[in-house]
């Protein structure tokens, strides 16, 4: 079988029963179930949620996104083999660890297949919760140009590229375009301060001022749990993005939970600790792919400059990458997933057919 056939690139065309349009993100597609199917599954599977909770099937793909574009490879390889299964396996591992450590739950209720989550509807907090332990990436680029304040936090002079920060920093940004918040530009992914959040907590979907402190606590604790676990396998947790939301428990009480994905090579930078000790940065995350793209094309400013988005979209649309590039990315994702989980990532011959069969036979969600 052609390796490209093992890649799940299109994940918004499964015949899952739904009355709503399929929401397709950069990597995952979400199918909101009919009310009767949600209620049936909650009863049959004894999910710890109120009976009227909307449920969704979330199907991951092997697509790879970087610089807000989807990239393709030659030979019809429209994704990275093993990437979807690796991302889900890593998230599942950390979510389970968070629960064991009594941090907070996630939105996931069930995992029918390595590519699939059954999730409960959550009301997202409109913040990209970013934690940084080292100065690199966009923060370093701004620092190098003279910036010393990030999200209301002042940094000292004299920091070196890729060095450890004096303390773990939380540098939140907006999730989506938020309108009418004083001092917050109406644009996606703009840095915000704690004061911005406190003064407009309801606009960010927080239920109370106290929950801002809770989100910060869960962000730090989650970061520390992952950082400690990665250190045991000679990896450094450099920085990451968490997302939070509210769900209701079986008694109907609101609770703040982790959602989306956590501690993955897509949402985090992970460095090899032994290489770093020798003064070299070896990326075990998507950052390696981003750096490769920056060197692959003659004008990297197209990828870094948001005002050149139309050129960037054309670049991704009109250029296929060498297959060996995507296979190198595949190795990075699979290797780090296997290190973290201690389990082998198995490439499916036909992931879409497997997902359809399981959702039909075991969950009765396909006619």
Regarding whether 86 and 208 lie in a shared domain, the answer is: no
pLDDT of res. 5: 77
Band of pLDDT at residue 1, cut at 50, 70 and 90: low
CATH number of residue 149's parent domain: 3.30.470.20
pTM reported for the whole predicted model? 0.95
pLDDT of res. 189: 87
Residue with tokens 């604790």: 221
Band of pLDDT at residue 252, cut at 50, 70 and 90: confident
Selection from 161, 160, 189, 192 nearest residue 175 by Cα: 189
Q: Which residues span the domain enclosing 36? A: 3-122+340-361
Position 72 pLDDT exceeds 80: yes
Non-local CB neighbours of 133 within 8 Å, separated by 6+ positions = 164, 165, 168, 169, 223, 227, 236, 237, 238, 239
Regarding whether 131 and 260 lie in a shared domain, the answer is: yes
CATH number of residue 106's parent domain: 3.30.200.20
Position 3 pLDDT exceeds 90: no
Q: How many residues does the chain have?
A: 367
What mean pLDDT comes out for the span 234-261?
95
Q: Cα separation of 230 and 336, whole Å? A: 10
**Dihedral sign, CA of 132, 106, 128, 16?**
positive
DSSP 301-366: HHHH-GGGHHHHHHHHHH-EEPHHHHHHHHHHHHHHHHHHHSSPPPPPS-HHHHHHHHHHHTT---
Regarding whether 134 and 259 lie in a shared domain, the answer is: yes
pLDDT of res. 363: 98
pLDDT of res. 258: 97
Regarding whether 127 and 114 lie in a shared domain, the answer is: no
Regarding whether 215 and 176 lie in a shared domain, the answer is: yes
Domains identified in the chain, total number: 2
In a domain, residue 316? The reply is no
> What is the average pLDDT score of the chain?
95
What mean pLDDT comes out for the span 71-100?
96
Regarding whether 235 and 151 lie in a shared domain, the answer is: yes
DSSP 38-96: HHHHHHHHT-SS-TT--EEEEEE---EEETTEEEEESTT--S-TTHHHHHHHHHHHHHH
Regarding whether 185 and 76 lie in a shared domain, the answer is: no
In a domain, residue 172? The reply is yes
- pLDDT tens-digit profile of 335-367? 999 999 999 999 888 999 999 999 999 999 999
- pLDDT tens-digit profile of 14-60? 999 999 999 999 999 999 999 999 999 999 999 999 999 999 999 99
Q: Cα separation of 318 and 247, whole Å? A: 42
For 54, half-sphere exposure in the C-beta direction (CA atoms, 13 angstrom radius) is: 13
Task: Report the interhelical angle of 323-341 vs 287-296 (nearest 10°).
Answer: 170
Regarding whether 69 and 160 lie in a shared domain, the answer is: no
- pLDDT tens-digit profile of 288-316? 999 999 999 999 999 999 899 999 999 99
Share of the chain above pLDDT 70, in %: 100
Regarding whether 132 and 265 lie in a shared domain, the answer is: yes
In a domain, residue 319? The reply is no
In a domain, residue 288? The reply is no
Position 326 pLDDT exceeds 80: yes
According to DSSP, the β-strands at 69-73 and 320-321 are parallel
Regarding whether 176 and 116 lie in a shared domain, the answer is: no
Regarding whether 191 and 137 lie in a shared domain, the answer is: yes
Q: Cα separation of 235 and 231, whole Å? A: 5
């Amino acid at each position: 079988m052609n390796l490209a056939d093992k890649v799940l690139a299109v994940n918004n065309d499964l015949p899952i029963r739904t009355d709503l349009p399929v929401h397709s993100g950069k990597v995952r597609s979400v199918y909101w179930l009919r009310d009767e199917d949600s209620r049936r599954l909650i009863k049959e599977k004894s999910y710890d949620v109120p009976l009227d909770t909307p449920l969704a099937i979330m199907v991951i793909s092997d697509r790879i996104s970087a610089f807000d574009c989807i990239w393709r490879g030659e030979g019809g390889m429209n994704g990275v083999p093993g990437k979807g299964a690796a991302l889900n396996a890593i998230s599942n591992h950390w979510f389970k660890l968070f629960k064991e450590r009594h941090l907070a739950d996630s939105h996931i209720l069930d995992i029918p297949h390595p590519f699939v989550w059954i999730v409960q509807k959550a009301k997202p907090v409109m913040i990209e919760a970013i934690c940084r332990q080292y100065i690199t990436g966009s923060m370093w680029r701004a620092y190098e140009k003279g910036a010393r304040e990030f999200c209301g936090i002042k940094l000292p002079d004299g920091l070196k590229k890729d060095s450890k920060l004096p303390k773990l920093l939380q540098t939140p940004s907006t999730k989506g375009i938020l309108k009418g918040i004083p001092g917050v530009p109406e644009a996606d992914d703009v840095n915000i301060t704690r004061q911005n959040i406190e003064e407009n907590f309801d606009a960010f979907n927080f239920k109370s001022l106290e929950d801002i402190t809770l989100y910060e606590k869960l962000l730090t604790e989650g970061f520390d749990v992952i950082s400690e676990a990665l250190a045991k396998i000679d990896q450094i947790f450099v920085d990451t993005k968490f997302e939070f939301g509210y769900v209701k428990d079986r008694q109907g009480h609101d609770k703040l939970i982790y959602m989306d994905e956590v501690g993955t090579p897509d949402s985090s930078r992970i460095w090899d600790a032994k290489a770093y000790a020798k003064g070299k940065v070896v990326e075990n995350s998507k950052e390696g792919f981003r750096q490769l793209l920056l060197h692959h094309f003659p004008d990297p400013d197209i990828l870094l400059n948001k005002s050149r988005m139309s050129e960037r979209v054309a670049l991704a649309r009109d250029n296929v990458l060498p297959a060996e590039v995507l296979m190198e990315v595949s190795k990075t994702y699979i290797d780090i997933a296997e290190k973290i989980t201690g389990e082998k990532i198995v490439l499916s011959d036909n992931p879409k057919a497997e997902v359809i069969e399981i959702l039909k036979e075991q969950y009765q969600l396909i006619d």
